Chain A
Amino acid sequence: MNRKKEGDVILFDHNHDGIDRRGFLKCMAWAGTGTLCVLHGGVLNSFSLSDPAQKTKHHRGDFSFVQISDSHMGFNKPANPDVVATLKAAITKINALPEPPAFMLHTGDISHLSKPQEFDNVSQILKSACTQDVFFVPGEHDVLEDNGRQYRERFARNTQGNGWYSFDKNGVHFIALVNVMNLKAGGLGNLGGEQLEWLGKDTKHLSRSTPIVVFAHIPLWSVYPDWGWGTDDSAQALSYLKPFGSVTVLNGHIHQTMQKVEGNITFHTAASTAFPQPQPGTAPSPGPMKVPAEQLRHLLGVTDVNYVRNHHALAVIDSSLE
């Protein structure tokens, strides 16, 4: 598919955990200069955006979709006084993709304070996206009032329980999970018994070669528990997914891109379109991170996901707003 040139492939897996930290950091440093970092099967490749030879050949059955996350409509503090402008910039970026996405996923924290006007503002802005097919999962900021009713009325019709559901697109099975409700004191994200039971049933009769994409707000792997960056009962969910040949887990919540590979499961978190947060342990808390104004859009972004038929893993491509 994409021929790797010497110097382009970064393979430093010193901790043997699938996280290519040095390569990732190196790649992210280039990201502001128009370089794409492509994660494919756990290996990071960097490509210049201007090199047409890198463009994937388009086969029938191939498709791509976009993930956006953490728009926090209503946030107006110094880390980003204008989250409307940066969300609009994200949509502009999506509309300019060489391969238009078939649909979009929003992995939650759509609003900042669960206010009806905040939800409606996001819906309004998304109307200018090249695809009107958008699938949502809630973040903890979306369910602050009334047990999440405002969120569910708008974005979770025809769903189960607190808003989980699944659907199929071009032979890929998508599973939307809710892990921001009924959180326990001192705990992390929570899926709950009812949702786990549903997940078991939902995946039981799928053929093991069906590619699966799971999306949920809080990471389903333990990114940094001290800051609540993990899900208490994700192990059982992952046990239902492990038998499958290709599983991609897409999350948000941490406002920075991060990835991990565990066997056939590739975990990936997206940047926010609103404000960045610090890397684990580098600040007293995971709150909004203020950066010089000219750097903000380098730390916000969208994620493009490409499915190539019969390829093992989906290609997950992050690009910053600038």
Chain B
Amino acid sequence: MKTHRSAVAVVLVMLAVLGMYGHSLASSAAAATGAQVNIDNFSFSPNMLTVKAGTAVTWTNRDDIPHTVFSDQNAFMSKTMDTNESFTLTLAKPGTYTYFCTIHPKMTGKIVVQ
């Protein structure tokens, strides 16, 4: 009897752990879709990105220094992103969106929405 209950307990714990793992896998999968821009060594990579209208674009800061993203056309602006922080944006309207980092304005990039 005791062994049976222990076995059930172990199975339940395993299912819970797998459930959590499965959920985090699903979240990563969702974040991995959409377009990614890495901010590294004071540059946006890719520097020019072409996406279909309605695609989510995520900037992630890999530098040891904070950066921002600010659209020249005032279409979008991020809060300050410290290391490993992200900013996600979905642009519905086709066009060319140039942007720069307000802290380090030499850093510029472009999103082309089709």
A binding-site residues for B, Cβ under 8 Å: 77-79, 112-114, 140-141, 144-145, 183-188, 225-228, 284-288
Contacts and interface: CB of A to CB of B under 8 A. Distances in A.
Given A285-B41, A285-B42, A184 B82 contact: no
A77 B83 contact: yes
B105 A187 contact: yes
Contact of A112 (B66, B72, B105): B66
Given A145-B80, A285-B43, A287-B42, A228 B105 contact: yes
21 contacts: A112-B66, A113-B82, A141-B66, A144-B68, A144-B80, A183-B105, A184-B105, A185-B70, A186-B100, A186-B105, A187-B105, A188-B105, A226-B106, A227-B106, A228-B104, A228-B105, A284-B41, A285-B43, A285-B63, A287-B64, A287-B65
Which of A112, A114, A183, A188 has the most B CB atoms < 10 Å from its CB? A183
A288 B82 contact: no
B41 A188 contact: no
A184 B100 CA distance: 9
B102 A183 contact: yes
Given A187-B105, A287-B65, 7 more contacts: A144-B68, A144-B80, A145-B80, A225-B106, A287-B42, A287-B63, A288-B65
Contacts of A140: 103-104
Contacts of A227: 42, 106
A184 B66 CA distance: 18
A79 B65 CA distance: 11
Contacts of B108: 185-186
Nearest to A289: B64
Top 3 closest A-B pairs, CB basis?
Answer: A285-B42, A185-B100, A285-B41
Nearest to B83: A77
Interface in B35-57: 41-43
B42 A286 contact: yes
Contacts of B43: 285
Which of B66, B72, B103, B106 has the most A CB atoms < 10 Å from its CB? B106
B58 interface: no
Contact of B66 (A144, A187, A286): A144
B90 interface: no
Given A77-B64, A113-B66, A287 B105 contact: no
A228 B106 contact: yes
